[in-house]
Every structure is written in C-alpha cells, then in structure tokens.
Chains A and B, each alone.
Chain A
Amino acid sequence: MQLYLPIAEMPVDPFVVITMGAAVGFLSGMFGVGGGFLMTPLLIFYGIPPAVAVGTESSQIVASSVSGALAHLKRKTVDFQMGGFLVAGGAAGSVIGVLIFRMLIETGQIDTLISVSYVIFLGLIGGLMLWESIRTLLRSPEDKKRQARKRRSPAWLAALPFAMRFRASALYISPIAPITLGFLVGILASMLGVGGGFIMVPAMLYILNMPTNVVVGTSLFQIIFVTAITTILHAAANQTVDIALALLLLSGGVVGAQLGVRVGVRLKAEHLRALLALLVLGVCARLLIDLALPPASFFIVDGVR
C-alpha cells in the first residue's frame, strides 16, 4: 500500500512510516528522551527531503510532548517564570533559525547543513554520554558516594546583571541566562527538528542549578511552546510541514513510547545511557559516511518553484 504525502510530494508506505514512529517512540520511552534527534535522521535515511523532515518533526514533537507537559502541570513541577524566559529566548532563536533555514533552502545548501549539524551535534552528545557512562560503569561504589557534592553556579552566572528571584526554583539569577539558553535551544530546535531537551536539561541542572524536580517539567513547557512556534514558522516560510507524515509518525510513536517505558524501567540507568550513547554515535557515523562517500550521482537536479 502506498500513501502520497501532500507536502513531501512522494509516495511512502504508511506501515513503514508508522513502524519508524513506533521504533523511535520505543527508544524515547525507554531512554526518557524526546526522540527528535533520532527521528529526523531516520526520515532523511528513508528519503524524505531533509527540509520536510525537520519541519514535520517539529509538529510531531508538539504532539508527543503534550502528555508529559500535562502531567508536570498537574504535579505543579513547572517553574513558569523560568519557563517564560526560556520560551522568550526560544521564540527569538526559532525566528533566527527559520530565517537561516530559508536562506539555505534558497542557496541549495540546506541538506548538507542539516547533515553536518547532526554529525557535530550527535557526535558531541554521543561522545560525552559514552565517556560519562564508561566512567560511571568503571567507578567503584565508594567513589559514587563521594560524587554527591554541593552544586554551585559558575561565577560568570552570578556576575550577570538584572538578577531576580525565581521562587519555584529557589534561585536568584539574571534572566539573561535562561533567555540565552532558550535562544540557543530555539536555533537548534528550528534547524534540526529537535525539541532540545537533550541540551536544555543538563544546562538547567548544571549551569542554572535548578532543582531536579522542576527541570523536566520546565523544559517540556519550553519545548512545547518553541516547537509550536517553529512549526508555524516553518509552515509559513518554507511550506515544509507535512501534517499527514506527522500524524503517521505520531500514531506509531505513542504506542512505541508506552512499550519503551515498560522496558526502560527494567534496565539500569548506566546501561541505558551507554546504549543510548552507542545508538547516537551509530546514527552520527551513518550520516558522516553518507556525507563522505562519493555520491551516487555527481549532479543534483531540483525543481524550482
């Protein structure tokens, strides 16, 4: 069976696409990550034009973040004040990201840029994660106890002006920090079709020093708004959001995520992290190989509107 995608303008096998959604959903449920950073490359491997993969993925992230965001709202584990600054920065970053995206579509470099950014992004994250998990796995139990230390904000953060009180996070820092973080994540989200939780959660924990209980809720709050804005901007500027594709991915994704969560709770956190690191590095290697190998054809022909 074939389904002709209205925006990607190509026929796909809907069962394959749903299965892809389920597989990434499974992994994201198991590892507790968003999955955009796996879904976008997978769509590109399948043959979806990279620009459409990115635009569509942002709308799928909106959908897959809803349940988590609602749960955190109910539990009141969202720092709205911090979230507001993150969203403001994210919105600005998203506008810049989509503008760069549009420029690169016009000069025909967008596919390369997406692949290269992914290689760098996945290579860094995967490498760091693998390093971390190997260290954790090799470390003896008594070392682990010593690791529990009092966290402290970096000096430059305390030096930023306009410091204000964030009640829910029990912090007294400048809003410039979350705005900047949100901005960088917004650029990343709009150019790569990711949520950015991957970057934002560690940054909120280790740089902003937010308490663990509000970090995930607040990052989901930022992600849902910023990916929604990104979706609208991509649709408006580039016409690269394929709603049919997004819904297919989502239908597989929700089922996969439920199964993934069940498997995930049975595995050790260190093992999970090492597995995820290997997976991320695998995707990175595949993208790099595709970029480095001589192309199947030395010429590219595109239709121009």
Chain B
Amino acid sequence: MRIFFLALTLIIAPAQAANIEIALTNDRVEVDTGFAGARLILFGAVTGLDDPASVDIISVIKGPEARFQVRQMEKNNLIWTPGPAHLIESAPGLYLTYATRPIDDIAPLPLQDQHRLDADYLDIAIGAHTTADAENAGLYRSAFLSEAEALGLYRSHVGGIEFKKGALFTITARLPTNTPVGEYEVAVYLFRNGELIGSDAAALAVNRVGLERRIYDFAHQRPVSYGIFCVALSLIAGWVASLAFRK
C-alpha cells in the first residue's frame, strides 16, 4: 500500500516525492499495579518536502480487536434495567486519532473510509443472531461508538502533533486507564491538499507486568487455587490483625 502511494505521488509530482516515517520512543506499554494510563510519544519525520509544515498529518492508534455487547436500558415499572444483549463480534479495543486539523478538512471522505481514519468507518457489525433489524443495528452501532467515546476508548483529537525542527515532528498520545492489553497498530498518514502522499506504521504492545500480571494470571488460569489462596491469605490477615489488637 505504501509503495503504491509512493509510486502514485512519484507519478503525479515527481519533483516532490514526499514520505513520512515514524518511530515509537517505547514500543511496549506496561500495565502494572501503578498503571494510571500512559503517555505515548511518537517521533516522525516528513521527507522530500521543501516546506514540511504545509502538510497535514493524521495518526491512528488502533488497539486489539475485541468482542463487545451493547444493551439498551429499559424502564421496567419503577426501575431501569438493561435489555437484551447485542453482540459486536469484533471492534478495535481502542481507537484514537490525532490530526493537525479536523480530519474532514484534511482528507476527503473516500480516503477516510479507505484508511479508516474516523471511527464512523470502522467495520463494526452487530451480531446477526440478534433480533435487531437493519434500522436497530444502526442504532446499536452508533450507541456503541458514543459509549466507547464516553469510556475514553474511542477519541479523535485535533492537536497533539508538533513540528519540531524542519521535517521532524512528535505526536503525543494519551492512553486511558482502561486501555486494553494486546497488540496495537500505530499508523500515520501524510496529506497535502486532500491527497494522501505518504504513510507509515509501527507496532506497539500493551502488556500486563509485575504483581498485577501475576495476580491476574493466577486468578484466570488457576481459579480454584487462587480462591483457596485468597481464603488462606484472608485467614492469616485476620489472625495477624487480631493479634495486633489483643490487649
């Protein structure tokens, strides 16, 4: 794809073969007991341009695909209860975009669709086994998108991209505290006058580490032993506490 666009730009404007490259300062984000979100810094360079500041950049950070379910709250006499679940088989667990200007001003809609530059173009299908008809499927899809935005999982930002010296720039992204673990793709797209003239991508891994990981793995891989461990620890802790306060 990159080569194709590179070739395209070469044909259209051979004098200005532009491209963009990025690197992450850290391609590993660690979720430990002190995790409270993370700041992610991307370094990049725009090459082959005389005036790099005249271009636009869009960066898309896409988390691992995950399954979700959407429920509508229904009024049941006095109280509100969640209705039946509508399954979303696959959607990015995190979807953040950073752009130099509003995306609609940078990229024409077909390109936004082609490169999934906006959450509206993501392939999010409501499970076929549900009773939702086509109209309701659209309702649940947009409900999912707005909820994901409210949870901080799907966000689009204007800004966060800073041109440094000449062709060099940085993108400062903020991963939320509920960042899912898994493999991420970080992509950047270079635009000029509504045309895509270059792109690059890098991989990022978000992992649980340390005590946080040990407890999580223990609880999920050997749940019975973990339960017995919790009881034993509680008994010991309760006993120690009773000793500490004995008169």
Is the contact region of chain A dominated by helix, strand, or loop, or is it mixed? helix
Q: How far is the CB of A18 from chain B (nearest CB, A)?
A: 13
CA distance A300 to B68 in the complex (A): 10
B85 pairs with A291, CB closer than 8 A: no
Report which of A228, A231, A244, A247 forms a contact with B237, defined as CB distance below 8 A. Answer: A247
A232 pairs with B227, CB closer than 8 A: yes
In the complex, A161 has a CB within 8 A of chain B: no
In the complex, B5 has a CB within 8 A of chain A: no
CB neighbours of B70 from chain A (8 A): 299-301
Q: Which residue of A lies closest to B144 (CB)?
A: A301
CB neighbours of B212 from chain A (8 A): 4, 6
Report which of A6, A70, A232, A235 forms a contact with B242, defined as CB distance below 8 A. Answer: A70
A66 pairs with B238, CB closer than 8 A: yes
- Of B11-19, B95-103, B163-171, B218-226, the one contacting chain A is B218-226
- Of A30-38, A86-94, A108-116, A178-186, the one contacting chain B is A108-116
B36 pairs with A2, CB closer than 8 A: yes
Known contacts A239-B223, A241-B219, A246-B230; is-contact A291 B79 (Cβ 8 Å): yes
Name the interface size band of chain A. 35 or more
A60 pairs with B234, CB closer than 8 A: yes
Known contacts A2-B34, A59-B230, A241-B219; is-contact A295 B73 (Cβ 8 Å): yes
Q: Which residue of A lies closest to B177 (CB)?
A: A11
Hey, what's the 0/1 contact readout for A222-258 against B, CB within 8 Å counting as 1?
Answer: 0000001001111111010101101100100010001
A112 pairs with B81, CB closer than 8 A: yes
In the complex, A212 has a CB within 8 A of chain B: no
CB neighbours of A302 from chain B (8 A): 68-69, 71
CA distance A236 to B221 in the complex (A): 10
Chain B residues bordering chain A, tally (CB within 8 A):
58
Report which of A2, A63, A232, A292 forms a contact with B80, defined as CB distance below 8 A. Answer: A292
Q: How far is the CB of B220 from chain A (nearest CB, A)?
A: 6
In the complex, B111 has a CB within 8 A of chain A: no
A65 pairs with B238, CB closer than 8 A: yes
Hey, what's the 0/1 contact readout for B227-240 against A, CB within 8 Å counting as 1?
Answer: 11111011101110
Q: How far is the CB of B107 from chain A (nearest CB, A)?
A: 27
Report which of B79, B147, B219, B238 forms a contact with A62, defined as CB distance below 8 A. Answer: B238
A254 pairs with B244, CB closer than 8 A: yes
CB neighbours of A291 from chain B (8 A): 78-80
CB neighbours of B32 from chain A (8 A): 4
CB neighbours of A67 from chain B (8 A): 238-239, 241-242, 245
CA distance A233 to B230 in the complex (A): 11
CA distance A235 to B227 in the complex (A): 5
In the complex, A294 has a CB within 8 A of chain B: yes
CA distance A62 to B71 in the complex (A): 35
Q: How far is the CB of B147 from chain A (nearest CB, A)?
A: 4
Q: Which residue of A lies closest to B208 (CB)?
A: A6
Q: How far is the CB of B174 from chain A (nearest CB, A)?
A: 14
Known contacts A239-B219, A291-B79, A301-B144; is-contact A231 B33 (Cβ 8 Å): no
A294 pairs with B148, CB closer than 8 A: no
Q: Which residue of A lies closest to B145 (CB)?
A: A301
Known contacts A60-B234, A62-B234, A254-B244; is-contact A235 B82 (Cβ 8 Å): no
Interface centre among A6, A107, A254, A304, by most chain B C-beta atoms within 10 angstroms, is: A6
Hey, what's the 0/1 contact readout for B139-159 against A, CB within 8 Å counting as 1?
Answer: 010011011101100000000
Q: 11 interchain pairs (CB within 8 A)?
A: A4-B212, A6-B212, A6-B213, A7-B219, A63-B235, A63-B241, A64-B238, A228-B234, A235-B219, A239-B220, A300-B147
Excluding A235-B223, A299-B140, A304-B87, 16 further A-B contacts by CB distance (< 8 Å) are: A11-B177, A59-B230, A63-B241, A64-B238, A112-B81, A235-B224, A236-B223, A236-B227, A241-B227, A243-B229, A246-B234, A250-B238, A295-B73, A300-B73, A301-B151, A303-B180
